[in-house]
Every structure is written in structure tokens, then in C-alpha cells.
Amino acid sequence: MTTLAIPAPRSWSIFEARAGQRLDEFLYAELPEVSRHGIRRLIALGFVTVDGQARTAGYRLESGGNVRVPEGLERFSVAAEELDLTVLFEDESLIAIDKPSGMLAHPTSKERTGTAVNALMGRLGGARPHLLHRLDRGTSGVLLAAKTENAAREFGAMFESRQIAKRYLALVAAEPDWNHLEVDTRIERYNDGRTPKWNTGESGSEALTKLTKLRGRLIQAEPWTGRTNQIRIHCASIGLPIVGDEAYGGPHAERLHLHALELEFRSGRYAGLIIAASGNSIAQEMRYPDR
């Protein structure tokens, strides 16, 4: 791929969903077209700032902070691709798709094609979308992106203030003996070589997931914070790992049985709007797991 230079400085406001993330990992996700070596070098040289101060690569971001990268950084281009894409909602500000399991949301330094961003760029005529939240590779369902930086700021703030609710379906390893449960175990990242790196920990960030039993082993999960792997970790922490989530002790399956079912706008100009991926094949399979 060809290289180019960033023509102007880039900056991001840190929302709740990204709080606690390392500075270098945040930039790997936000600038996947930049080599990891290049990002680490700029951080080490003090060119990347958080709230106006140079920080180390391992600095943990805080909600409300601002990350800034200077102009002139060489990067690799991200290609727009014509990929099959199920669009759930689209207007001048937002686009929501039904991301299939197995598809990465962002390109990475090792995997630059076939991602949701590549597919969205193909639909948007090459314009780069701003993903407003994260879905793991294995998780299917609603993925929302803003078309402009102004929209990204507006709706990013709504996610942070929980004015956009996220609801997931999960098929767990055993039938719960409760109807409703709140799990508030803290989540932290471990850098001692263990896998998975993210798990429960007393010194981690606060996390809250509300769980509701629907039928049999099928539950609904509503995360009130946006920690990495939060639903997967919280389900495993109560002895109910998700089917297909072998990393956290779940039984083997062809895919992770976690599906981003819907987003609900609770205020603002989209108040009352629900964007749902209820027609997804895995969603239907999960609703009737014993058929």
C-alpha cells in the first residue's frame, strides 16, 4: 500500500467506552493505517499528548480527556472495499450495520482488509467512518458509525452519558437460577503474559452489566459501562460463560454466541429510535437453542 502524511493534527475526546485503555492501544485502533512502530516512536519522542501533556505508551486514558497526534505522521492507506453489508439504518449523520461474526470492526497493522471499516468506506464512497462503539470479532449485530466528526462527538457523548442503550443476546453454558441479576465486578488488564489479558480484578475499572433471563439458557445483557470483553467476563465470573467463548471457559461452538441485538436512543433528536438486528440468523438460533 502507498504511504501518505496526515495533512492536519488529529484529536479525539475520550468517552466512557475507551476509559482505562492504554494510550498505544487506543491509537492502534484509531489509526490502524499507521504502523505500530510509528505510533510507539511518536509516543516515545513525546509528540503524542493527552490533555496537553506527553504520556507514555502504557498511560491509561480517562473519560473526558483529549488525545492529540501531530501532523506529518506517515501512515498506510485503508482501502474501501465492496463487501456484503446489511445496513440497518442510515441518514446524513449515522449508519448502522449488522456486523457478522468473524469480521473485525477496525483494520489492524496485520489485517488491513475485510473489516467493517473497509466495508463502510466502500458504501460511503471512500469516506472514513467513525465507529462509535466496539464489537469483538466474534460478536455479531448492530454496529453504529458516524459519518462526520461533528456527529462522532455528538453521539460519542451520548454513549458516554448512557443516552444510547445497548442490549445483547447471549447463550450461556447453563440455565440461570435467577430472573434478573446485576454484575458489578471490576475489570482490569493484566500485562504478565496471561491470556486472556482482560479479566476481573480488584484494582480494575468499575463495570456494570444488567442481566435478564429470557428463556432456558438465553439471556439479555445490558452493559452500563464499556469495558473490553465486559459481557463475556461478567458472564464467566458468575459461572455462566458464553457458548463458544473458550477463552473465558465457555463450551466449544462454531462461533461466539453473543449478539448485539439493539441500540435504543433515549434522548436527543433520535429519541425513541431503536436500531435492531433481530433478523440475524444467529439471533434466531439463539432464541430457540434447543430446537
Q: What is the mean pLDDT of the chain?
A: 86
| CATH number belonging to the domain at 87-156, selected among 3.30.70.580, 3.30.950.10, 3.40.50.300, 3.40.50.720 | 3.30.70.580
Task: Write down the domain spans for the chain.
Answer: 3-76, 87-156, 161-287
Span 175-188, average pLDDT: 96
Angle at 155 between CA 262 and CA 180, to 5 degrees: 35
- What lies within 8 Å, CB to CB, of 192 at 6+ separation is none
Q: Note the pTM of the prediction, 2 decimals.
A: 0.78
| CATH class as words, domain 3-76 | alpha beta
Higher-confidence residue of 75 and 283: namely 283
Per-residue H/E/C for 153-210: HHHHHHHHCCCEEEEEEEEECCCCCCCEEEECCCEEECCCCCCCCEEECCCCECCCEE
Task: List active site positions.
Answer: 136
Q: Quick one: 161-287 is in which CATH superfamily? A: Pseudouridine synthase (3.30.2350.10)
Whether 38 has a pLDDT exceeding 80, the answer reads no
For residue 194, the model assigns a pLDDT of 82
Angle at 66 between CA 114 and CA 204, to 5 degrees: 80
Whether 7 has a pLDDT exceeding 60, the answer reads no
Whether 251 has a pLDDT exceeding 90, the answer reads yes
For residue 80, the model assigns a pLDDT of 92
